[in-house]
Structure 1
Amino acid sequence: MDRHRPEDRKPPTVVRLPADTDADELAGLRDTLGQWSGRPRSLALDRLVDPTVTEERGRALLEPFGEELVELAAWGYRAHWIGLGRVATGDGTGTRPVVVVADRPDPAWGGLPGASTWVERLCAITGRQPSGPPAVDWQAVEAELGTALPPDYKEIVDVFGPGSFDNYVDLLTPNTKGSDLMRVIEAPAARFAPHPAFPAPHGLLRWGSSEYDLDLAWQTGAADPSDWPVLVRSDAAEGWRRYDYGAGEFLARLLTDVGLGFEPSYSVDEHFFESWDH
């Protein structure tokens, strides 16, 4: 399932509030949404729906309503659209407040060629342009580690270098101070429990980290590193989640995919890569 396609997204959730809901409570909700996401976008006013509303601007919030919709304001917040408005009551003599929440597709995902590699998609998502020849001696790196590494990871490092995606996920790269792939194997084995740590058979080899307590690792062991799954833990008290993706696909989905299982990056409107290679 890919919720970037309209046919695969969850239907919006609608909560119809009592007609006598306290006006101060509604004002408080508007204020909170404003603090999260700034000024709202008006999708409908005085029973007139804005005809210019697109999928990228909250059209999913309009789907549950017909002529009953009186007004609706929309806020984009991370992976969701949130709407607050009013609908006509059943007898048509009054109105009642309504709250609606819908999946918010990431704008960065639209328009990418279907045949794109995941690294090309990451470039399109972040606006990154390939920069010069590879700076990493992969033969030496793999000899020191004692294993080959997944080709898509090496391509990501060659294209992006050391740095952070959206200041959300830090890419661990060889011989980079503070985020050195070569040194992560020195981490205490307990960090990877209940799995063994690399270089033990099927041990975890960490390749990404985050200030938001994400650990990203491969489960090594398959003869072809392209077949190493990504394991992710979002909290030391939680277990590891397995994703049968490469590093490139996982990063692209982590930044943009509302259905992956993690909250997408805070930078949902414009993704970027901050290079540390200055």
Structure 2
Amino acid sequence: MSGESTGPDDVVRFFGITPRLHFEFDWHAVERSIGLRLPPAYKYLAEHTPRGSFQGVLHLIRPGDLDHDETAYLGHYAYRIQDIRAAGTCPYPLHPDVGGLLPWGEGYFGELFFWRTDESDPESWDIVFCDEEFDDWQICAGPLPAFLAALGRGDIRFDGPPAAVGSAPFFREFGNDPFRPDV
């Protein structure tokens, strides 16, 4: 699967997900809550994939996660941004600062995945991720579908459960608890 022409439909097929409408969000209200347009590919994936993890290590943040308002994008993750600011280890500006990092995903150990927002087309935003202690920061070229495809191919590595390392692309649907897929 080539990163250059990877779209959200390609990612869904690559990970063996049957696309169907799982969620519907008021994107106008969600985007107003953060003052930014979100990438169309993210909006498609957020609505057309079930709650679950890519490669068993990364799940999408969705509006309304963790029982927050579905029209407020950040919800719980606004507190995580405050934690990162307090740690003082982030080499990038954070949302709502201009060009600030905006979280879109969370890893198995609580790592966060961000877009590095700027004035360019949201589909071209770079991907930044860090460890759960906010000490180790990495940046990869976007867009989101290409990043997920690279994760599935094993081109991007970070800490996670051993089953994810070197395995074929897979998507693990969550049960009732997003942090314990077996529940």
TM-score normalized by the length of structure 1: 0.51
Are residue 165 (structure 1) and residue 54 (structure 2) matched?
yes
Distance, in Å, in 1 between the alignment partners of 2:122 and 2:4 is 22
Provide the aligned C-alpha RMSD in A. Answer: 3.2
Distance, in Å, in 2 between the alignment partners of 1:148 and 1:159 is 19
Are residue 245 (structure 1) and residue 142 (structure 2) matched?
yes
Distance, in Å, in 1 between the alignment partners of 2:120 and 2:169 is 38
Are residue 190 (structure 1) and residue 86 (structure 2) matched?
yes
Q: CA deviation at 1:213?
A: 4.8
Residues 147-167 of structure 1 deviation map (CA, whole Å, 9 limit, x = unaligned): 111111111112114332233
Question: What SS does the aligned partner of 1:208 have?
Answer: strand
1:260 aligned partner, one-letter code: I
Question: What SS does the aligned partner of 2:42 have?
Answer: helix
Distance, in Å, in 2 between the alignment partners of 1:234 and 1:117 is 26
**Contact map agreement 2:54 2:170 (CA 8 A) in 1:** yes
Q: CA deviation at 1:217?
A: 0.5
Query: Cα distance 1:132–1:208, how it changes in 2: closer, same or farther (>3 A)?
Result: closer
Aligned length: 166
Q: CA deviation at 1:141?
A: 0.7
Query: Cα distance 1:213–1:115, how it changes in 2: closer, same or farther (>3 A)?
Result: closer
Distance, in Å, in 1 between the alignment partners of 2:159 and 2:101 is 23
**Contact map agreement 2:52 2:171 (CA 8 A) in 1:** no
Moved more, 232-241 or 169-178: 232-241
Partner of 2:170: 271
Q: CA deviation at 1:245?
A: 1.3
Kindly report which structure 2 residues correspond to 1:94-113, keeping only aligned pairs within 5 A, or say none.
none
Partner of 2:105: 208
Distance, in Å, in 2 between the alignment partners of 1:157 and 1:235 is 23
Uncovered stretches (5+) of structure 2, i.e. residues with no partner:
178-183
- Could you say which structure has the larger radius of gyration? 1
Moved more, 152-161 or 186-195: 186-195
**Contact map agreement 2:94 2:102 (CA 8 A) in 1:** yes
- Structure with greater contact order relative to length (CA < 8 Å, sep ≥ 6): 2
Partner of 1:50: none
